[in-house]
Amino acid sequence: MAKVYLTIDTEYSSGLVSDLSAADRRDNFARSIACLTPDGPTGLTHKLALFEEHGIKAVFYVDPMPALVWGVAAIEDVVGPILDAGQDVQLHCHTEWLELAGDSSPLASKRTGRNLYDFPYEEQCEILAYARDTLVAAGAPVPVAFRAGNYGADDDTLHALRTIGVRYGSPLFHAGQSQLRARQSPHTGGKPYRASPVRRLVPVACNHARHHHRRLP
């Protein structure tokens, strides 16, 4: 029997940021995490209640990068309800927040980029270590699985994951929307990605568009 993982990318939207104030964070939470609609919430609390009702276990990939601008409490507000509901929190990472963070970026270079593959291996290690440590600071267990924001991973990402101790990766989208990129790196010698440095890769087979907020029955 095929195994299916129910996974939910759970994140504030960097695209909705206006002034980085506390009110801005609350509005972002309402729109991106709680996903409030005229018909009621369609996001985190709704899904958690639904999974509880049907006895379903799911993995919530939580992006800790907004802590760069709003502090760890912003991530605690996301992690807490998931753990309280007995569900699984794992690591997600959107590098767009580095640009919003400015001088608060953990990178000495202050480099910015939309995807992890925009960064060299060493900086991917730094970004992922920051993300992992922040997720744990927000109350999550040490993550063992990861999905890149925008599926923007490359070979170096997989090696960086191994370096920081993450064993399971789900950076691929099966339909080819944005694939793992093969690029020249010290680890691959320019060859396309072949042997997985992480223990298991799980491709994403089905994607329910998050911008179409519909209440699941």
Q: Assess 152 for contact with Zn ion (CB under 5 A).
A: no
Of 1-9, 74-82, 159-167, 191-199, the window that binds Zn ion (rule: CB under 5 A) is 1-9
Q: Which is nearer to Zn ion, 11 or 154 (CB)?
A: 11
**Nearest residue relative to Zn ion (C-beta):** 9
Q: Which is nearer to Zn ion, 64 or 188 (CB)?
A: 64
Q: Select from 27, 40, 65, 212 the least CA-distant residue to 150.
A: 65
Q: Assess 9 for contact with Zn ion (CB under 5 A).
A: yes
Least separation in angstroms between CB 181 and Zn ion: 17
Of 21-29, 47-55, 74-82, 145-153, the window that binds Zn ion (rule: CB under 5 A) is 145-153
Task: Report the Cα 139 to chain-centroid distance in Å.
Answer: 16
The angle, 0 to 180 degrees and rounded to 10, between the axes of the packed helices 155-164 and 121-137 is 50
The binding track of 24-53 with respect to Zn ion, each residue x by CB under 5 A or -, is: ------------------------------
Residues 198, 38: Cα–Cα separation, whole Å = 43
Least separation in angstroms between CB 17 and Zn ion: 15
Question: Tokens for 23?
Answer: 């009110």
Residue spans of alpha helices (H) in 102-148:
121-137
Q: Select from 34, 29, 57, 39 the least CA-distant residue to 215.
A: 39
Q: Which is nearer to Zn ion, 87 or 185 (CB)?
A: 87
Q: Select from 34, 30, 97, 86 the least CA-distant residue to 63.
A: 97
Residues that bind Zn ion (CB under 5 A): 9, 11, 149
